[in-house]
């Protein structure tokens, strides 16, 4: 089984709900990774702000983030532009060439490659 986990929640909202969604997305990735399943993580929408926040050692989800960091496929290029994210150190994904943008991840390509898609 192959799974892609997409994180859309916004760390700048400051809500427990947003942190809960990101934490549970990372925990799901950890679960698949621990089971030896193929898993990848994409940050899209306002979720493109998460990598910068999660890299801070004092963040409550930092430890879990480090456990699955190797499963991060990348960050939406266009969403990073729109939401002012600074995803340094991660690939910008742009295989969905939406006009007048720098491109987004292609969910169609993922599905055609047999990935289940989970959105948090």
Give the C-alpha separation, 84 to 46, whole Å.
Answer: 9
pLDDT at 111: 97
Closest by CA to 73, choosing from 8, 2, 4, 1, is: 4
C-alpha distances in Å from residue 85, one per residue of 12, 36, 112: 11, 31, 28
| Whether the predicted model's global pTM rises above the 0.85 cut | yes
Q: Class assignment of domain 2-119?
A: alpha beta
Confidence of residue 86 (pLDDT cuts 50, 70, 90): confident
C-alpha distances in Å from residue 109, one per residue of 11, 12, 21, 29, 104: 27, 30, 24, 20, 11
Dump pLDDT digits (tens) for 58-70: 999 999 999 999 9
Domain ranges of the chain: 2-119
Q: SS3 for 53?
A: helix
pLDDT at 43: 98
**CB within 8 Å of 118: residues ≥ 6 apart:** 3, 4, 5, 6, 25, 28
pLDDT at 103: 97
């Amino acid at each position: 089984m192959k799974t892609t986990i997409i994180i859309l929640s916004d760390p700048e909202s400051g809500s427990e709900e947003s942190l809960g969604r990101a934490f549970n997305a990372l925990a799901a990735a950890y679960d698949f990774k621990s089971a030896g399943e193929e898993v990848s993580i994409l940050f899209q929408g306002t979720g493109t702000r998460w990598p910068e926040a999660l890299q801070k050692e004092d963040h409550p989800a930092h430890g879990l983030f480090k456990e699955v960091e190797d499963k991060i496929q990348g960050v939406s290029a266009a969403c990073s532009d729109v939401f002012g994210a600074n995803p340094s150190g991660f690939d910008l994904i742009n295989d969905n060439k939406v006009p007048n943008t720098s491109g987004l991840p292609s969910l169609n390509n993922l599905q055609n490659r047999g990935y289940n898609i989970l959105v948090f």
